[in-house]
Structure 1
Amino acid sequence: MAYQQSTEQRSGQRRRCAYCGYSIPEEPHRSEAGREFCSRSCLEAFDEEESIPAEDAYERFETGVEPLDSLVPTGLPADAFLLLSGEEGTRRSELLTELVWRALERGEPAVVVAYVDPPTAVLERFFRQGWNVLPYLEDDRLRIVDCFTHRLEDRDEFVTTLNEWNRFLADAGDDAVIDVERPGDVRAVANALQRGLDDLEMTETGLVVLDSLDELDALVQDQLVHNFVKDVRASVCKARYVPIIAAATPADDDGRLVGDEPVYDGVVDLRLTDRLVPESRLKQLGIRKLVGTAYDPQWTAYEHAPGRGLLSFDPTTEAGSVYEQNVESRTL
């Protein structure tokens, strides 16, 4: 609390630039209308006819995922490449799906780089939660970079075995899919991603998710994974202010990451633990690293609820009710 108060006091002592929103450390530059700017560059860039931009409007965002947002109360940096590092059983795929859904709900576009599943299965994940993405496909707000299909030995046979619903999804999402013929070519994947961003005019808006770096790591050398993350972090996160959230399994029991940790702006750990409730293995989410903003260092217990996404709960008092509600919702 003392830290928060001192921060507010320091920020309140300085005036804010009418263009960039940051504090004015020296004598301000003033426009003819009397607005104050921190520099001549901001004064020249400002358009008197436009409204003053909200402070940090494009620099931070709330994901809409309850357990994640609860640990980052001021929002995640929008220019960050984040890694979701979690073992099997931690609902990692459901978390990625919800991140995309919440972005679409906010009215923002999204790109999914899919290594684990074909595009029809990516879309089906939303419908399993009761989240209808068909309007967003029609509104041209979703792209799927398909890094899965061309890894199949017989792609034609795969298409012929689709059931009626999946054929419908394939047709409905056809314009939203960007094929990558060489998914092991990191440059081809990066180019396909840039095409998706250009199609949706994604700058200072939207979200990219990548599922998963494990599959890319299996196709290429470790150094190429590092180079891929470094390059798209620069060209997407830093240049466009579009965050990327990628999933991966820890490479070893010590939690070593795919690639190496310094290349990521943030690392969110997902884990299973049997130390909270006797004879129960619960899921926990915690932030190992996050550059550019403050975060709560605690672990938070969470569970996935159909149609609602990931929910935080107190394992000492609420575990029973959480799982009873999940069972009831699946039987209705």
Structure 2
Amino acid sequence: MTASQWSDRPPEYPLQCDHCHYPIPEEPREGNDGQYCSEACREAADDESTMPNPDAYKCVVTGVEPLDSVIPNGVPADSCLLVSGDEGTRRDELLTEFVWRALERGEPAVVVSYGDPPSATLERFFENGWNVLPALEDDRLRIVDCFTHRLADRERFLETRNRWQEFVGEAAGDAIVEVEEPSDGRAAATALHDALDDLEMTETGLVTIDSLDELRRVLQTQPVHNFVSDVRATVCRARYVPIVAGATTAGGPAFAEDEYLFDGVVDLRLTDRRGPETRLKQLSVRKLTGAQFLPQWISYEYEPTRGLFAFGSASDAKRAYDTGSGPSHEPPRSAERR
């Protein structure tokens, strides 16, 4: 429960600690410059180490419209989320949009890429109409490359890139962290931590892992378990930087045996056909520790520049899928870290 939620509690908890900003459940400890919930907070305040209000960094409004519609107060910043869905549910676009919305609100981001080379990872942003060149230049985006050194002929791959890929590769050169041993989970975790240190990512930004399926193929099952446990503890819990990892359901629950490792699970699905040529995409939050969420399926679609958007009624669906009409071009809701 955040400090703002506590402030709405009944009068028996009227005061907030002037150091930690959480409620004072008993008689306050009086200090030189305020009232405190404990001796530890009073002593810390005397040392001029007052904590920032937890609402400033402990909750993230993602900026992804359909997801925010079912998580009204945001995602806890110490969360490790699993986004799982069938092929065709725009899972990759969702992960890309998570990063773009963080950059859009001025926060840094790190992409751990097992499924694609850095040029393809960056191309997803451009395909969506989102220009990440300024973020690369301003040192707000890192790509942890766990793909390139898996290629049988890495040099040939680099030589056959077209002019645009060469340009993007050069522009992103300083932002790419190559992992020479991607089959070593510890090497990948170390590269991630180095990127977080370089970007000074504590209580800001987010991390995405593009494909747990690829990670599993490279590391085998048990090391994946270890890798997720490690980064959940050292990134989410220690730094208050959320991680969003993608996986395919492949006809069954994604990572069912390890779902307890994740603080939240977002399911994506394709519904039965509502017409001869249309299947609806829907998302739902199955679990999210420490946050309120609405237990319902939300229909959504995708549009370049706008990203994923939600719609509800049959008329909304018809407008979204009718040829040539498309959805209204309203800008996405602004996102912020509360």
What is the TM-score of this pair, normalised by structure 1?
0.91
Q: Which residue of 1 aligns with 2:17?
A: 17
Q: Which residue of 1 aligns with 2:301?
A: 303
Q: Which residue of 2 aligns with 1:77?
A: 76
Alpha-carbon deviation of 1:142? Answer: 0.5
Aligned with 2:40: secondary structure? helix
* CA–CA distance in structure 2, aligned partners of residues 160 and 309 of structure 1: 33
Bigger drift between 258-267 and 41-50 goes to 41-50
Q: Quick one: higher RCO (CA 8 Å, sep 6+), 1 or 2?
A: 2
Counterpart mapping for 1:126-275 below 5 A: 126-250=125-249, 252-253=251-252, 255-257=253-255, 260-274=258-272
Residue type of the alignment partner of 1:268:
V
1:79-101: per-residue Cα shift (whole Å, max 9, x none)? 01000011100001100111000
Gaps of 5+ in 1: none
Alpha-carbon deviation of 1:13? Answer: 3.4
Alpha-carbon deviation of 1:124? Answer: 1.0
* CA–CA distance in structure 2, aligned partners of residues 199 and 235 of structure 1: 16
Q: Which residue of 2 aligns with 1:57?
A: 56
1:315 and 1:117, CA in 2 relative to 1: closer, same or farther beyond 3 A?
farther
* CA–CA distance in structure 2, aligned partners of residues 211 and 327 of structure 1: 32
Q: Which residue of 2 aligns with 1:278?
A: 275
Residue type of the alignment partner of 1:220:
L
1:149-184: per-residue Cα shift (whole Å, max 9, x none)? 011111111111111011000000000000011111
1:91-115: per-residue Cα shift (whole Å, max 9, x none)? 0110011100000011100000001
* CA–CA distance in structure 2, aligned partners of residues 138 and 298 of structure 1: 40
1:91 and 1:12, CA in 2 relative to 1: closer, same or farther beyond 3 A?
farther
1:185 and 1:50, CA in 2 relative to 1: closer, same or farther beyond 3 A?
closer
Residue type of the alignment partner of 2:23:
S
* CA–CA distance in structure 1, aligned partners of residues 260 and 324 of structure 2: 38
Q: Retained in 2: the 8 A contact 1:112–1:209?
A: yes
Q: Is 2:279 aligned against 1:312? A: no
Q: Retained in 2: the 8 A contact 1:142–1:176?
A: yes
Alpha-carbon deviation of 1:282? Answer: 0.8
1:312 and 1:17, CA in 2 relative to 1: closer, same or farther beyond 3 A?
same
Residue type of the alignment partner of 1:25:
P
* CA–CA distance in structure 1, aligned partners of residues 11 and 148 of structure 2: 52
Alpha-carbon deviation of 1:123? Answer: 1.1
Q: Retained in 2: the 8 A contact 1:214–1:258?
A: no
Work out the number of aligned pairs and report it: 322
1:20 and 1:97, CA in 2 relative to 1: closer, same or farther beyond 3 A?
same
Q: Which residue of 2 aligns with 1:32?
A: 32
Q: Retained in 2: the 8 A contact 1:250–1:258?
A: no
* CA–CA distance in structure 2, aligned partners of residues 17 and 55 of structure 1: 12
Residue type of the alignment partner of 1:212:
S
Q: Which residue of 1 aligns with 2:331?
A: none
Out of 304, 318, 321, which is 2:319 matched to?
Answer: 321
Aligned with 1:281: secondary structure? strand
Q: Retained in 2: the 8 A contact 1:109–1:142?
A: yes
Runs of 4+ residues deviating >4 angstroms: 47-52, 325-329
Q: Which residue of 1 aligns with 2:66?
A: 67
Out of 286, 293, 300, which is 2:291 matched to?
Answer: 293
Counterpart mapping for 1:99-110 below 5 A: 99-110=98-109
Q: Which residue of 1 aligns with 2:41?
A: 42
1:41-79: per-residue Cα shift (whole Å, max 9, x none)? 222323797887334221111000000111111110100
Residue type of the alignment partner of 1:10:
P
1:307-331: per-residue Cα shift (whole Å, max 9, x none)? 10100001522112112377769xx
* CA–CA distance in structure 1, aligned partners of residues 40 and 139 of structure 2: 36
RMSD (Å) for aligned C-alpha atoms: 2.2
Bigger drift between 129-138 and 10-19 goes to 10-19
Give aligned-pair identity as a percent.
58
Bigger drift between 288-297 and 44-53 goes to 44-53
Alpha-carbon deviation of 1:130? Answer: 1.4
Q: Which residue of 1 aligns with 2:332?
A: none
Q: Retained in 1: the 8 A contact 2:215–2:224?
A: yes
